Amino acid sequence: MDTVGTYASLSGHESSTQWTIIPAPGSHKVPQENVCSGDQVRLENFDDGSYLALFSGNLPGDSGYPVATTTNLYDITIATAWYVLIIQNKRNDPNLSDKNDIYLVANFGALAGALDTNGVGTGGFTYNVTGARLLNRDGGSGSWQVEKVRD
């Protein structure tokens, strides 16, 4: 399990900050098929093959649920599947594409959390990342932008 956070710049962090979008188990999608808003996916780290995860073993604190990477895909207290929700686009197109602004939401049972930047970062990160109980907790802190960086 590795801590997840955001950097001020990609410089020097190119491989550790890349995530490959793959279909979540039970998804009707196949690899290389377009991801659409509302699809559930896994995010696999390009650097080490771990998955972005929301940890629900404890009740959420004021900053939400812990977020980190994991290779454990069988613990029911660890959510490794995320719903992709496109915020908006000019063409009203549900297909995920470069530069889309999105929310990522993971659920476990009857609870869920949205991937969110939260607080001053530790360990070299600019911001910490948590699973917030609010979709856009701090006026933009829960939105992410898709960027295609390699084929």
What are the pLDDT digits (tens) for 112-121? 899 999 878 8
Q: Is residue 151 included in any domain, yes or no?
A: no
Q: What CATH number should be reported for the domain holding residue 63? A: 2.80.10.50
What are the pLDDT digits (tens) for 15-29? 777 889 999 998 888
- Alpha-carbon gap, residue 2 to 90, rounded angstroms: 36
Domains of the chain: total: 1
Q: Is residue 41 included in any domain, yes or no?
A: yes
Question: Domain span at residue 36?
Answer: 5-145
In the predicted structure, residue 151 carries a pLDDT above the cut 70: no
Q: Is residue 95 included in any domain, yes or no?
A: yes
- Alpha-carbon gap, residue 148 to 151, rounded angstroms: 8
Q: Is residue 70 included in any domain, yes or no?
A: yes
What are the pLDDT digits (tens) for 66-101? 999 999 999 989 999 999 999 988 888 899 998 899
Portion of the chain with pLDDT greater than 70, in percent = 97
Q: Is residue 150 included in any domain, yes or no?
A: no
Q: Is residue 60 included in any domain, yes or no?
A: yes
pLDDT tier, 123 (very low <50, low <70, confident <90, very high otherwise): confident
